[in-house]
Structure 1
Amino acid sequence: MKLTLGFSPCPNDTFIFDALVNNKIDTEGLEVEPVLEDVQTLNQWALEGKLDITKISYGVLPLILSRYIVLNAGGALGKGVGPLFITRNDTDLKPVEEMTIAIPGEQTTAHMLFSLAYPQARKKKFLLFSEIEDAILTGKVDAGVIIHENRFTYQEKGLLKIADLGEYWETTTSNPIPLGGIVMKRSLDVVLQRKMDSLIRKSLEYSFEHYPAVTDYVKQHAQEMSETVMRQHIDLYVNNYSLSLGVDGRSAVKKFIDIYSELHQTSVNGTDLFLENNL
C-alpha cells in the first residue's frame, strides 16, 4: 500500500523520516511517498485533506480534527524551542500595536503564540519563514516572528530579540511548547494508523542510533546550512517527545486547543485527538 507523507525540508524533519522514506528500516510492506514542502503549505494542504499523513503546525490542528488524528511519534514539542519575536538593532522600538509584524503563516503555532503574548497587535503580514529576516532588514516590516534555523543566525545579521514567545508560553501554562505534530487521515484503518506511528518511531530510533552523523538526505535538503547549524536544529527540535508525545505532550496539546478556543471565541471538540498509544 502506498501512502503520501508530507514534511518540511528542515533538518529536524528529514532526520526523523530519513530511515522511513529511504528504506533504511523494514517498512512492513508499506510504500511511503515523501512530499517535502514548507509548513504553511502543509497546513493548507491539511485543510484540504490532500495528504494521507502530514506534519502540521499545531496552530492549524483545531481546523482539521474532523479529518485527521494526531500520531504519537514524529512531532516537535519541547522547552526552550519556541519562536522568537525580533527586530532590527538600529530601530527605536515602537509600541507593538503600532508595529507592522511579519508572521510565518496564518495557521502556524508561531502566530498563535504571538497572538497569546501580544493580543493588541493587529498589523500583521504573513510571509514564508525564510523571508522574514530580509523583510525586517529592508524595512518592509518593523519586526517579525522567526522559527527554525533563523533562531541560530538572526544575531549575525544585526537583529535583536524582543521576546521569546516559547518562554512566554511555558511561563503562562507550565507546559512544553507544542510546535508541530504528525497527523494521519481518520478514514484510514486504525491498524494502518498504528503501523505508521510505529514506523515513524522506528525511523527516528534508527537516526538517533547513528547520530551525530548527518546523512546525505538531511544535507541535501538543508540548502546552505552548515553541519553545525543542522545539528543545532536537530538537537533543539528532536527529543523524547518526538519518539512519543507521552502524558506531558498530550497535556500540552490539549492546553493549546483550549487556548485556541479562547482566543478565537469558538468551541473545539478536544476529545479523540490522539491515536491510542500502542507503543
Structure 2
Amino acid sequence: MTGAADTLPLGYSFCPNDTFIFYALTFGRVPSPLPVQEVLEDVETLNAWAREGRLPMTKISYRAYFEVMDRYVALRAGGALGRGVGPLIVTKEALPSLRGRLVASPGALTTAEMLLRLVEPGLQVVRMRYDEVMPAVQAGRVDAGLIIHESRFTFHEYGLQKFIDLGAWWEGETGLPLPLGAILVRRDLAASTQWALNEAVGASLEYAWAHPQEPRGYIRAHALEMSDDVMQAHIDLYVNPFSRDVGEEGERAVQELRRRAEVAGLISPSPLPLFVQAP
C-alpha cells in the first residue's frame, strides 16, 4: 500500500493510545520529513501487513516485529511498553487450570499470545479479533479469553473474572516492564530519515501531552463503544515515558522478550539492531 509520492503511509490502530500519540503528526501539527497518510487498522491486521512489507511505517506487536526484522527497524518513540499494561486471561467461571481448555486469542502475531505460549506452551487456542474475545467467553463458545487493549478495563461488565495477569507474570519473572508494541520504519530508508521520523513521533506525543484536549475529538471518533472514562484510562496507562523513548530499561525488556522467545523456539535469532540510532 502506497500513498501519494510526497506522503508516507503510517499504519496505527484505532486504540486511544495510538490516536493520541499520532494526532499531531497525522494533522501536521509538528514537523516531519514527509507528511504522513494515516492508515487505521486493528493491530493484528497491521502485523500481517508487516509480513508483506505493505507499509513503510507501521505500529506492530513486538511478537510480529521479531519476524520482520530483516525489513523493518523499531523507532525509539511511539511504542507501548510499561508496567501494569499486560494482557489478561479471563474466564466466566473459576477454573483450576487451563489445561485441556479452549482459549480465544487476539492473534498469532500478538505479543499477548507469545506470553501465553511462554506461560502455558501447550494450550489449544482459537483466534479472533480482539473485540470478539470477551463476547465469546461470555457466550460459552470458549473456556477462556486472552484480552488486550481497553478490555482490561471492561471485562467485569461481561461477567468475567481474571484468571491470570500475564503482565504481572512477566514483571515477576524479569523485574522489567512489558514490551507490547512498537513503531517500525523500513530499514532501507536513509538513517537520517529514520531518525527524523523518530523525532517527529516524539514531537507528536509531546504535542498531545501539551494540548490534551485538542486530539479528543479524533480519539473519540475512533474509540467506538468506549466511555470517556475508559478512553482516558487507556491513554493514562499505555502512554507513558517509555512512549517518548524506550530507554535503556525498555531496551533490556525487549531484548529479554526476544531471548525468551528464541529459547522457546517461537522465533528465529537475528543479529540486527532492534532500534534506530541517531545518525
For the superposition of Structure 1 and Structure 2, which TM-score range results when normalised by the shorter chain? Answer: over 0.9
Deviations 1:84-134 (A, max 9, x none): 01000xx3525312110001100100001111111232x100111000001
Amino acid at match of 2:120: Y
Aligned sequence identity (%) = 44
Query: Which residue in 2 is equivalent to 1:140?
Result: 141
Q: Structure 1 residue 246: deviation in Å?
A: 0.8
Name the CA distance, whole Å, in 1 between partners of 2:215 and 2:230.
Answer: 11
Say if 2:69 and 2:272, in contact at 8 Å, map to a contact too.
no
Further displaced range: 157-166 or 268-277 = 268-277
Matched, 1:48 2:52: yes
Name the CA distance, whole Å, in 1 between partners of 2:267 and 2:64.
Answer: 14
Amino acid at match of 1:190: A
Q: Which runs of 5+ in 2 are unaligned?
A: 1-5
SS in 2 for 1:96: coil
Name the CA distance, whole Å, in 2 between partners of 1:271 and 1:140.
Answer: 42
Name the CA distance, whole Å, in 2 between partners of 1:132 and 1:92.
Answer: 17
Say if 1:214 and 1:227, in contact at 8 Å, map to a contact too.
no
Runs of at least 4 residues off by over 6 Å: none
**1:112 equivalent among 84, 104, 114:** 114
Name the CA distance, whole Å, in 2 between partners of 1:192 and 1:227.
Answer: 36
SS in 2 for 1:264: coil
Q: Structure 1 residue 175: deviation in Å?
A: 1.1
Query: Which residue in 2 is equivalent to 1:217?
Result: 218
Say if 1:72 and 1:277, in contact at 8 Å, map to a contact too.
no
SS in 1 for 2:264: helix
Name the CA distance, whole Å, in 2 between partners of 1:271 and 1:66.
Answer: 8
Name the CA distance, whole Å, in 1 between partners of 2:175 and 2:169.
Answer: 10
Q: Structure 1 residues 229 and 223 mapped into 2: Cα distance closer, same or farther (>3 Å)?
A: same
SS in 1 for 2:54: coil
Amino acid at match of 1:41: T
Further displaced range: 265-274 or 243-252 = 265-274
Amino acid at match of 2:117: S
**2:28 equivalent among 19, 23, 28:** 23
SS in 1 for 2:63: helix
Query: Which residue in 1 is equivalent to 2:3?
Result: none
Say if 1:254 and 1:270, in contact at 8 Å, map to a contact too.
no
Give the TM-score of the pair, scaled to structure 1: 0.95
Name the CA distance, whole Å, in 1 between partners of 2:115 and 2:29.
Answer: 37
Query: Which residue in 2 is equivalent to 1:2?
Result: 7
Q: Structure 1 residue 18: deviation in Å?
A: 0.2
Query: Which residue in 2 is equivalent to 1:151?
Result: 152
SS in 2 for 1:272: coil
**Paired residues, what number?**
274
Amino acid at match of 1:68: Y
Give the TM-score of the pair, scaled to structure 2: 0.95
Query: Which residue in 1 is equivalent to 2:40?
Result: 36
Deviations 1:228-259 (A, max 9, x none): 11110001100010000110111111111111
Name the CA distance, whole Å, in 1 between partners of 2:243 and 2:268.
Answer: 28
Query: Which residue in 1 is equivalent to 2:82?
Result: 78
Q: Structure 1 residues 216 and 92 mapped into 2: Cα distance closer, same or farther (>3 Å)?
A: closer
Q: CA RMSD in A?
A: 1.4
Q: Structure 1 residue 214: deviation in Å?
A: 5.3
